[in-house]
Amino acid sequence: MLTVHANSNRGQAHYGWLDARYSFSFASWYDPRFMGVASLRVINEDKVKPLTGFATHSHSNMEILTYVLSGEISHQDSMGNQTKISAGECQLMSAGSGISHSEKNQHPSQTLHLLQIWLLPAENNTEPRYQQIRLDDEWGITQIVSTTEQQGLMHIKQDAAVYRLKFSAGQQIELPSSRPYGYLHLINGQGSVQDKALTTGDALITKDESNLTFSAFSEGEALWFDLV
């Protein structure tokens, strides 16, 4: 089964310092049709104005993946990490039994553009963990997150895999589908899977499908989630 989750159905929020688009119900935006897919609970596209950001706040029992599209995050947390996450880099924070952190855009003039993604863990109250990688600037598909410990990949505490697609017009990319559910989120660009056309901000939900191929109509980027 293939279902399009259209960009027009995403939620919106404008806080002055932050413009956000919500793929699934979040904060004050609620739509019972969009509560997540399998273990995937949140995909927020955030644009954070210069010299603003998320003040210190807490999380527990959530796998939190951040992908910076442009700009840079200044991250600080209760595990003692003080890092910069720049465009093209990903961070995975396993909140586990509890963690506090802040995320700031300290640039005086550049807007920070990022995706914040939450997945439910397979086990609660585990030890918190922080990971960060830079993605290779390569065309095609690149795995970001693995359910097993592998060199060069971030390890998630859930039976899930996450991939980045970077594509050009006419490119065909096979979507790894070893689990019952899939979710393809188009960051930008146009393409299709089977007869389902997708454009910037759209997503495709899959259930019990295999041998799926993304056909690109333009240059762009997407994330693919292989989920249970």
**Own/partner pairs, 98-101, CB within 8 angstroms, 24+ separation:** 98/58, 98/59, 98/60, 98/128, 99/58, 99/59, 99/60, 99/128, 100/56, 100/57, 100/58, 100/59, 101/56, 101/57, 101/59, 101/75, 101/76, 101/77
pLDDT tens per residue, range 110-124: 999 999 999 999 999
Name which of 134, 222, 218, 219 is nearest 175 in CA terms. Answer: 222
Q: What per-residue confidence (pLDDT) applies to 99?
A: 96
**This prediction's pTM:** 0.96
Identify the residue whose tokens are 């399998």: 38
**For residue 34, what pLDDT is reported?**
97
The domains of the chain are located at 2-227
Q: What is the pLDDT of residues 179-224, one digit of tens each?
A: 999 999 999 999 999 999 999 999 999 999 999 999 999 999 999 9
* CATH class held by domain 2-227: mainly beta
> Is residue 12's pLDDT more than 90?
yes
Which pLDDT score is estimated for 152?
78
| Residues 222, 186 contacting (CB under 8 angstroms) | yes
Look at residue 95 and give its three-state secondary structure.
Answer: coil
For residue range 64-103, what is the model confidence (pLDDT) as tens digits?
A: 999 999 999 999 999 999 999 999 999 999 999 999 999 9
For residue 143, name the pLDDT band (cuts at 50, 70, 90). Answer: very high
